[in-house]
A = this chain, B = another copy of it.
Amino acid sequence: MNAPCQLTHQDFKSDVKPIWCPGCGDFAVLSSVTKALADLGKPREEIAFISGIGCSSRIPAYTQVYGFHGVHGRALAIAAGVKLARPDLTVLAAGGDGDGLSIGGNHFLHACRRNVDMTYIIMDNEVYGMTKGQASPTTQPDWTKSKLTPEGTGISAVEPVRLALAAGANFIARGFSGNPNEVARLIYEGIQHPGFSFIQVLSPCVTYRPEEREWKNLVHPAEGNPSQVMAEAMHRLAGDDGFSTGVLFAGNRAPFKPPSRNVATVTDLERKFAS
């Protein structure tokens, strides 16, 4: 047995003090991540944790693994690069609903589709926390507290899990930061599941969306077992209220692995040019 595998979830926490507001849901997500990593039993150096920009995207710095705090919206692209270049690493990505679904929407779409083996957590607070409270794609159309959309966005909210399914994600789950053990389990399962795993974690922003504290009264376990068939999952999610938690879909598409062999040297290749 390998010594580093004895690491506890505390061993995955760093000594950097979070910038988060007291009461922010993201604290619990951090605990869930470190717990899942402890359960995974891998040494810290074999894990890469990538994020974008936002309150939530600060999370890698609060853990003890290799991390990359990139630019806004590009976490999934960096994460794909890591995994494609170093298939031996366990790759996690995380960030906010704005980071992942607004500016990062295209990478989300194509990550679901490309199905690289990694796990992506959206810490969904239905708001841009970091920039002081604007509407995100998951914000309801009638939320009027943002100065940029004082009469509400008037645009229907994205349902991330439904989008992930249509785009082709291979594992889809939803958790609530108020139930950190469940979230830890979902992350753990997402990591274990081959291909692209997507986990939406409802994580209240107590500063700009204090009403989200109420979520604790709305969440409920998803009924039945996770679908393995896309059409079935589509049907099921069509009636979803956005607060059911658990694994919602677990597909079996093979992860993306670009071809790569080792059958020539660079010098061999030069024959092509010579005459």
Contacts and interface: CB of A to CB of B under 8 A. Distances in A.
Interface of A: 102-103, 105-106, 109-110, 113-115, 137, 151, 154-156, 158, 162-163, 165-168, 230-231, 234-235, 238-239, 253, 256-259
A209 B103 CA distance: 33
A211 B113 CA distance: 25
A165 B234 CA distance: 12
A158 B238 contact: no
Contact of A235 (B110, B113, B154, B235): B235
A161 to B, nearest CB: 10
Contacts of A103: 106
Contacts of A105: 105-106, 109-110
A116 to B, nearest CB: 10
Given A113-B155, A238-B230, A166 B163 contact: yes
Contact of A154 (B151, B155, B158, B257): B257
A4 to B, nearest CB: 34
